[in-house]
Amino acid sequence: MRLMGLQALYSRRRTSQPGKGHKVYPYLLRELCIEGSNQVWATDISFIPMAKGFMYLVAIMDWHSRRVLSWRVSNTLDTGFCVEALEEALQRYAAPGIFNTDQGSQFTSEVFTKVLKDHDIQISMDGKGRWIDNVFVERLWRSVKYEDVYLHAYETPAELRAGLMRYFKFYNTRRRHSALHRRTPDAVYFEQVDRELAA
C-alpha cells in the first residue's frame, strides 16, 4: 500500500496548528537545569475520545513536580478554554519563570501570550514537530488515557469532567512517580513551596 500510495482517509487529530501571522518564540529549556517548583510550567492540548464523539483537554503542569495545576475540557479548539486554565493556575499559584508550549495557534495567539507577558513570564515554545520538547505533558496524556479515559468510555461531557476531576486528584495526591523518587506530585510541589515560604 505504501508503494502504491494508498492510505486511509479519515479526519486527523491535529491539535497543534500554527496561527497565521502569530509570533513563535524560541525554546528556552534546552540544557536548562530545572531545580524547583514554579520554575517552569508547561501546557498542551490532547484529543479525548468518548463513547460517542470526542472532546479536547488542556492541562497546565509544573515541570519539576509533574503536578497538574489546572485543566479544562472543550468541544472546540478555541483559545478560550486554554486562557481559562492558565488564568486559574496563575490565580491559585505563584507565577512561573518560564512557560513552555507547542506552536499551536491557541498558545501563539495574542490573547494567550498577553496573559503571560502581563505576569512577566518568559515564553518558550517547542521546535516544530518536536513532541520530545514537552515530554512530561506527553507522558501525562498517556497516563490520563490508559489509566482513566480508555477504561471508562465516558458518554457525556459532564461525565468526562467528573471523571477527570477524580483522576487528577488521584494523580496529584496518590500516584507515585519513579522520577520523583516514588513521591507524589503534591508532595514534591508543596515541599518546595513551603521551603520558599519559610525562607
Question: Can you give the pLDDT of all 199 residues of the chain as single tens digits?
Answer: 666 665 544 444 455 555 565 688 999 988 889 999 999 999 999 999 998 899 999 999 999 999 999 999 999 999 999 999 999 999 999 999 999 999 898 999 999 999 999 999 999 998 765 555 678 899 999 999 999 999 999 999 999 999 999 999 999 999 999 888 999 999 999 987 666 655 4
Computed over its alpha carbons, how large is the radius of gyration of the chain? Answer: 17
Query: Is there a domain that residue 102 lies in?
Result: yes
Q: Which domain holds residue 175?
A: 40-198
Helix, strand, coil shares, percent, the chain, to 5: 40, 20, 40
Q: Residue 38: CA atoms inside 13 Å, Cβ hemisphere, count?
A: 15
pTM across the whole model: 0.83
Does residue 16 sit within a domain? no
Q: Answer for the pair 36, 7: CB distance below 8 angstroms, yes or no.
A: no
Strands 40-49, 54-62: pairing kind: antiparallel
**What are the C-alpha distances in Å from 23 to residues 85, 105, 113, 160, 177?**
21, 10, 9, 33, 35
How far, in Å, CA of 56 to CA of 74, rounded? 5
Residue 25 lies in a domain: no
pLDDT at 44: 94
Residue written as grid cell 486528584: 169
Does the residue 14 lie in any domain?
Answer: no
Question: How many angstroms separate the first and last alpha carbons of the chain?
Answer: 64
Domain tally, the chain: 1
For residue 110, what is the enclosing H or E element? helix 110-118
Please report whether residue 35 resides in a domain.
no
Per-residue confidence (pLDDT) for residue 23, from 0 to 100: 86
- Establish if 188 belongs to a structural domain: yes
The strand pairing partners of 98, in sequence order, are: 40, 122
Domain CATH for 74: 3.30.420.10
Looking at residue 12, what is its pLDDT? 44
Please report how many Cα atoms fall inside a 13 Å half-sphere around the Cα of residue 25, on the Cβ side. 23
Calculate the alpha carbon distances from 121 to 78, 166, 188 in Å: 22, 30, 22
